[in-house]
């Protein structure tokens, strides 16, 4: 199928791009543009050319469906097409609307004139994938909008509306009416006026104080992008635009992209980009699965999670009925929601009007009758099976047939929850993360009987409320918490063996986690983990006790909420070293007969991260996660795993699974740890032996 069409309109040839959804610059499209220009060149009646996209997009850049295939680089590649535009002698006008991004903007900038619809979204977002624009974008944009503004756009990858470029030659004319008509009129006028072929490469580019400006830019960018090489390479490339000839600048750009494409950071960022897209697909739920309409949402429980969940839907313009048992709790929840919006208004992130409109979508109630016609109800009450049972039985008898009944449980068996209703197919887990209005991750828990259209609907609604949804099967802790428990466990074992809380947290934070495991435990509240441990100790009397963690809880040190945990807090949130904890740790070690040993940061990182990986491998093998990249997505969006490392499973791949398995077998010999814990999961061992990877 051709991705372009070629028409003649008077003295103007029109090349229309047609590669939905965003005119990705795939092989057919590139070929079509090149052929169109050649045809126009050969036709004496054609005096000018217009290249136009769809209403939705001029072009969003590279065609991601071609990534990793020979077509991505097949000639003509984008650079070849742009070079052709630089050499043709008939004026080419880009007619731009919707979005113009990445390679799409590079294509537009290689045209000789540009007309645009107001409100078009403009960006060079490559830096977000750890690379930079590789088809002259770093050289042409500074020539069109000035060095400083171009550098800001390229380093940040930010999207800027076209109206902000008024007065610059990035856009020669803003077309209010029909874009094609406007472009044709512009082209006819250009022919009448004998406008020359105006090549951006021939435009001057400079900065009055280039040396000082780029020194400043390097300092600013360097401190903001420590673990990412791409932003600094963007500075180098734009500096070349300002200080060197166009072709020399292009070479700097090309060397930079060649280098960046092979960095671990870029591999990780591109992995995350594709992992997010993959996560939205469910193998046995085809794309065309019908979905249910969700216009009204009910939330049960106006506590920490219920209020956060509610805010997501209000932000998406979906009315929410929120239910509590007592007026007092209901009022407190509504007040917390109102305050969240007020804080947004105070910070200038939301207008007062918008905040008011959102609150108007909220309907607080104490009566289940008000939930009868909801399309989706999400339960976020106490984490007790008895309480959940009552809620789901009541929902079953009050809410209309066809509604989706979701639970936000973190640990309870979703299949059991579903069994409290006569419609288990309509029951699904929607596991949000705290704070639920901010955290991107949503684990969608698929029960044994969850219907396919329920899953398809929840995945769709997740997008609407701007969450990254990952499907998990039913198990204790689902994907994220099941893995984090192993990681926390290993951190606590190392505490017993000789490491200090500060040392463990520092090592893990240096690795790139937003927060070390013990600071995280203090933030989450030690009592939660303690309650789970006590249950497990009863169920498994032979299980290893976590003596230090238990002792801190016995002393009422639950973390931030009690002002003391592994650290002390002095009324604030900042963890401070507590000599009292040193003494407690010391006493516990003596009781256990442990002579503390020095543990290196490298060992701390390996034992914590490999604990994640090993459990991840089990989760994958059991089919709890559909694919390794889903596990990575959970960790990147819900647990602060460093994005530039791509998630635990990609990290394992990059370390080499053979090396990971070998290290685990060494850890298993440590007399203080549980040797079972460190047996490589069968899938990991198998892949390692076969020289394969998870992803």
Give the active site residues. 106, 126
Work out how close the CB of 431 gets to ligand NAD at its nearest, in angstroms, rounded to a whole number. 6
Task: Choose between 323 and 458: whose C-beta lies nearer to ligand NAD.
Answer: 323
CA angle 428-434-436, nearest 5°?
65
Number of C-beta neighbours around residue 544 at 10 A: 15
Task: Give least dist CB 562 to ligand NAD, A.
Answer: 16
Backbone angles phi, psi at 238, to 5 degrees: -70, -35
Is the Cβ of residue 288 or residue 328 nearer to ligand NAD in the bound state?
328
Return the number of the residue (179 or 414) whose C-beta is nearest ligand NAD: 414
| Other CB atoms within 10 A of residue 99 CB | 23
Give the nearer residue to ligand NAD in terms of CB position, either 323 or 619: 323
Q: What is the signed CA dihedral for 371, 376, 382, 387, rounded to 10 degrees?
A: 60
3 state DSSP class of 675:
coil
Nearest distance in Å: CB 625, ligand NAD? 18
Look at the alpha carbons of 394, 398, 399, 400 in this order and tell me if their dihedral is positive or negative: positive
Rounded to the nearest 10°, the torsion over CA 643, 646, 647, 649 is: -170
Kindly give the pairing relationship between strand 441-445 and strand 427-432: antiparallel
Shortest separation between residue 432's beta carbon and ligand NAD, angstroms? 6
Q: For the CB of residue 292, give the shortest distance to ligand NAD in the complex, in Å.
A: 23
Distance CA 513, CA 511 (A): 6
Strands, E assignment, 382-464: 404-407, 427-432, 441-445
- Nearest approach, Cβ of residue 390 and ligand NAD (Å): 6
Task: Retrieve residue 429's tokens.
Answer: 């887990």
Q: Which helix (H) or strand (E) holds 94?
A: strand 92-96
- Specify the pairing of strand 376-379 against strand 297-300: parallel
Q: Which of 417, 341, 428 is nearest to 385 (CA)?
A: 417
The answer to whether the Cα torsion of 34, 39, 43, 47 is positive or negative is negative
Q: Would you state the structure tokens that stand for residue 614, as one six-digit string?
A: 């090993």
Least distance to ligand NAD, CB of residue 412, Å? 7
Nearest CB to ligand NAD, comparing residues 381 and 491? 381
Question: Could you give the C-alpha distances from 146 to 11, 136, 534, 686, in angstroms and in order?
Answer: 34, 15, 64, 55
The two three-digit tokens of residue 305, written as one number: 């999670």
Comparison of 191 and 387: residue with beta carbon closer to ligand NAD: 387
Minimum Å gap between C-beta 402 and ligand NAD is: 23
Q: Which is nearer to ligand NAD, 148 or 383 (CB)?
A: 383
CA distance 320 to 323: 10
Nearest Cα residue to 660 out of 678, 672, 634: 678
Tell me whether residue 9 or residue 336 sits nearer to ligand NAD (CB atom): 336
Pick from 279, 90, 118: which is nearest to 190 by CA? 90
Q: Which is closer to ligand NAD, CB of 294 or CB of 414?
A: 414
Residues that bind ligand NAD (CB under 6 A): 300-306, 323-325, 329, 380-383, 387, 390-391, 408-410, 431-434
Residue with smaller CB distance to ligand NAD, 104 or 477:
477
Q: Which residue has the tokens 């635009």?
A: 241
Q: Are strands 121-123 and 160-161 parallel, antiparallel or unpaired?
A: antiparallel
User: Minimal distance in Å, beta carbon 434 to ligand NAD?
Assistant: 3
Of the candidates 692, 535, 508, which has an alpha carbon nearest to the alpha carbon of residue 612?
Answer: 508
CA distance 638 to 626: 17
* Residue 433 DSSP SS3: coil
Give the separation between CA 240 and CA 257, rounded to whole angstroms. 14
CB of 181 to ligand NAD, least distance (A): 54
Q: Which is nearer to ligand NAD, 79 or 434 (CB)?
A: 434
- CA dist 103 to 83, 163, 328, 453, Å? 14, 20, 56, 37
* Euclidean distance between CA atoms 393 and 197, whole angstroms: 73
Quote the tokens at residue 412: 């309870």
Rounded CA separation 332/82 (Å)? 60
Report the C-alpha gap between 605 and 218 in whole angstroms: 31
CA 139 to CA 240: how far, in whole Å?
A: 8
C-alpha–C-alpha distance, residues 133 and 304, integer Å: 43
At its nearest, how many Å lie between ligand NAD and the CB of residue 468? 15
CB-based closest residue to ligand NAD = 303
Closest distance between ligand NAD and the C-beta of residue 530, in Å?
A: 15
Residue among 320 and 381 whose Cβ is closer to ligand NAD: 381
């Amino acid at each position: 199928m051709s991705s372009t069409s070629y028409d003649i309109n008077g003295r103007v040839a029109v090349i229309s791009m047609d590669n939905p959804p965003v005119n990705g610059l795939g092989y057919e499209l590139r070929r079509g543009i090149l052929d169109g220009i050649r045809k126009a060149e050969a036709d004496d009646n054609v005096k000018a050319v217009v290249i136009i996209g769809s209403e939705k997009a001029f072009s969003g850049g590279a065609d991601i469906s071609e990534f990793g295939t020979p077509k991505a680089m097949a000639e003509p590649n984008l650079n070849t097409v742009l070079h052709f535009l630089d050499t043709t002698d008939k004026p080419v006008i880009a007619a731009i609307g919707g979005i113009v991004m990445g390679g799409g903007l590079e294509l537009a900038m290689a045209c000789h004139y540009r007309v645009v619809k107001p409100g078009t979204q403009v960006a060079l977002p490559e830096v977000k994938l750890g690379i930079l624009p590789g088809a002259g974008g770093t050289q042409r944009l500074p020539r069109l909008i000035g060095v400083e503004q171009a550098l800001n756009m390229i380093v940040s990858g930010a999207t800027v509306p076209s109206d902000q470029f008024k007065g610059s030659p990035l856009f020669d004319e803003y077309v209010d009416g029909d874009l094609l008509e406007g472009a044709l009129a512009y082209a006819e006028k250009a022919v009448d006026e004998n406008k020359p072929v105006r090549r951006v490469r021939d435009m001057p580019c400079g900065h009055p104080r280039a040396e000082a400006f780029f020194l400043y830019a390097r300092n600013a960018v360097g401190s903001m992008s420590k673990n990412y090489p791409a932003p600094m390479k963007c500075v180098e490339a734009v500096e070349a635009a300002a200080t060197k000839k166009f072709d020399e600048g292009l070479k700097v750009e090309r060397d930079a992209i060649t280098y960046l494409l092979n960095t671990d950071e870029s591999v990780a960022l591109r992995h995350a980009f594709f992992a997010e897209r993959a996560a939205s697909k469910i193998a046995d739920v085809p794309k065309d699965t019908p979905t249910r309409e969700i216009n009204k949402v009910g939330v049960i429980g106006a506590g920490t999670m219920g209020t956060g969940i509610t805010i997501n839907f209000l932000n998406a313009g979906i009315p929410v009925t929120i239910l509590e048992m007592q007026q007092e709790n209901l009022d407190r929840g509504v007040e917390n929601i109102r305050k969240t919006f007020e804080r947004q208004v105070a910070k200038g992130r939301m207008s007062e009007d918008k905040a008011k409109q959102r609150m108007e979508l909220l309907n607080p109630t104490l009566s289940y009758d008000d939930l009868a016609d909801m399309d989706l109800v999400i339960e976020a009450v106490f984490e007790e099976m008895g309480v959940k049972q009552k809620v789901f039985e009541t929902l079953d008898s009050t809410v209309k047939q066809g509604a989706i009944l979701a639970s936000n449980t973190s640990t309870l068996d979703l299949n059991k929850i579903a069994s409290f209703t006569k419609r288990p197919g309509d029951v699904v887990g929607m596991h949000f993360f705290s704070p639920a209005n901010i955290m991107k991750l949503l684990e969608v828990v698929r029960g044994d009987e969850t219907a396919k259209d329920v899953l398809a609907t929840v995945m769709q609604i997740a997008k609407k409320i701007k969450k990254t949804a990952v499907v998990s099967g039913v198990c204790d802790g689902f994907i994220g918490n099941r893995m984090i428990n192993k990681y926390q466990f290993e951190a606590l074992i190392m505490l017993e063996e000789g490491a200090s809380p500060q040392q463990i947290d520092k090592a893990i934070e240096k690795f790139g986690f937003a927060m070390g495991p013990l600071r995280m435990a203090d933030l989450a509240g030690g009592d939660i983990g303690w309650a789970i441990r006590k249950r497990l100790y009863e169920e498994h009397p032979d299980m290893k006790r976590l003596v230090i963690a238990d002792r801190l809880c016995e002393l009422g040190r639950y973390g931030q909420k009690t002002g003391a945990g592994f650290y002390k807090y002095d009324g604030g949130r900042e963890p401070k070293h507590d000599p009292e904890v040193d003494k407690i740790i010391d006493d516990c070690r003596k009781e256990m007969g442990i002579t503390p040993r020095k543990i290196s940061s490298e060992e701390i990182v390996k034992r914590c991260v490999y604990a994640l990986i090993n459990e991840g491998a089990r989760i994958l093998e059991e089919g709890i996660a559909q694919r390794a990249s889903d596990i990575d997505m959970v960790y990147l969006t819900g647990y602060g795993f460093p994005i530039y490392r791509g998630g635990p499973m990609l990290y394992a791949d990059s370390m080499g699974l053979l090396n990971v398995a070998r290290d685990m077998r060494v850890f298993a010999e440590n007399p203080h740890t549980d040797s079972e814990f460190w047996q490589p999961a069968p899938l990991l061992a198998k892949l390692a032996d076969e020289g394969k990877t998870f992803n």
